[in-house]
Structure 1
Amino acid sequence: MRISARTDYAVRAMAELASHPDDPLKAEDVASRQDIPVRFLFVVLRELRQARLVHSRRGPEGGYVLARPAQDITLADIIRTMDGPLVSVRDLRLTDLTYPGSAALLPDVWRAVRTSLREVLESTTLADLVAGTLPPPVRARAQAYNDDVRTYPLDLD
């Protein structure tokens, strides 16, 4: 999986909004706090607004707020809004994939990748990020990665 700049910025912006649930934040403030180019952030916020993940409020006290409580917005919701399906192979449905011969099991690998991504991204909410806690399966996977990096420091993902 490749995480695009748009998606990275969207998740960071949403986390910033989640950390101020009662106060609308101006795009310029979000951009400054998260080191996101403000012009790019306006594009991202427009897409998030169209997907009904954020609301914008006008006026001197206006800004952007989450459209739903932070515990009801998963990272998967944001990623799908910005980049579409979590996993796709040539824009085909994974259930329709078949390969001949020695590659026959490859569709099962793609399905396992999708399942792993869903486990992490659909169980992690903005509230988790803001609280500084991750669901146990996500925390365990992150720790396993950290252990691998220490064991194989020259391994380049």
Structure 2
Amino acid sequence: MWVSTKAQYGLRALVEIGLRQAQAVPLKDVAEAQGISQHYLEQIAAQLRRAGFIRSVRGARGGYKLGRPSEKINALEVVEALEGSLAPVVCLDDPESCWQTGHCSTENLWKRVDEAMREVLRNTTLKDLIEERRLIESRKLVQLEPAVPLAQGGSP
């Protein structure tokens, strides 16, 4: 299963909203910060809201806030809410779809792939992703002088 842009953008939007926990974040700001079409983001936000990951705040300073603490949201539940099944092959979700179910030499491989992916996503919280984003942003603030290549007179 390939993770679509819907799940990728959904997680990125949640990170953006989570970074600004003290205030409601307009979707326009999220779309601009993440380079996502606002129209597409509105569709994703509707699904995120229905799933309880975000809640809307009305008024002049309205927008979206997280629906629950970032440490209580894991990537697996977000991806499943936006994508549906994560199974890499149909027969894991629907054993009746394949006549070889139970007799297939690759069935256990796909089960292991499925469980490994689920475990990584399950063990990654939105809080982890927000902290990763903060780390990335702090690295951007540190400006290092470019190294001078040895051929241009730099010392070894």
Q: Which TM-score tier does this pair reach, normalised by the shorter chain?
A: 0.7 to 0.9
Query: CA-to-partner distance for each residue in 1:56-102, whole Å, 9 max, x for gaps?
Result: 0111111001101001111111100111122153265377777279x
Structure 2 residue identity aligned to 1:54: I
> Following the alignment from structure 1 to structure 2, what is the Cα–Cα distance between the partners of residues 22 and 121?
26
Aligned residue in 2 for 1:62: 62
Query: CA-to-partner distance for each residue in 1:24-63, whole Å, 9 max, x for gaps?
Result: 1000000011111001000000111111111001111110
Aligned residue in 2 for 1:19: 19
Moved over 2 A (4+): 88-101
Structure 1 residue identity aligned to 2:20: H
CA, structure 1 residues 98+107, in 2 after alignment: closer, same or farther (shift >3 Å)?
farther
TM-score (norm 2): 0.77
- Unaligned 5+ runs, structure 1: 134-157
TM-score (norm 1): 0.76
Deviates more, 1:92-101 or 1:12-21: 92-101
Structure 1 residue identity aligned to 2:23: D
SS in 1 for 2:89: coil
Equivalent pairs, count: 132
Q: State which structure, 1 or 2, has the greater radius of gyration over its C-alpha atoms.
A: 2
Aligned residue in 2 for 1:109: 109
Identify the structure with bigger relative contact order (alpha carbons < 8 Å, sequence gap 6+): 2
> Following the alignment from structure 2 to structure 1, what is the Cα–Cα distance between the partners of residues 14 and 86?
18
Aligned residue in 1 for 2:100: 99
> Following the alignment from structure 1 to structure 2, what is the Cα–Cα distance between the partners of residues 8 and 21?
20
Aligned residue in 1 for 2:89: 89
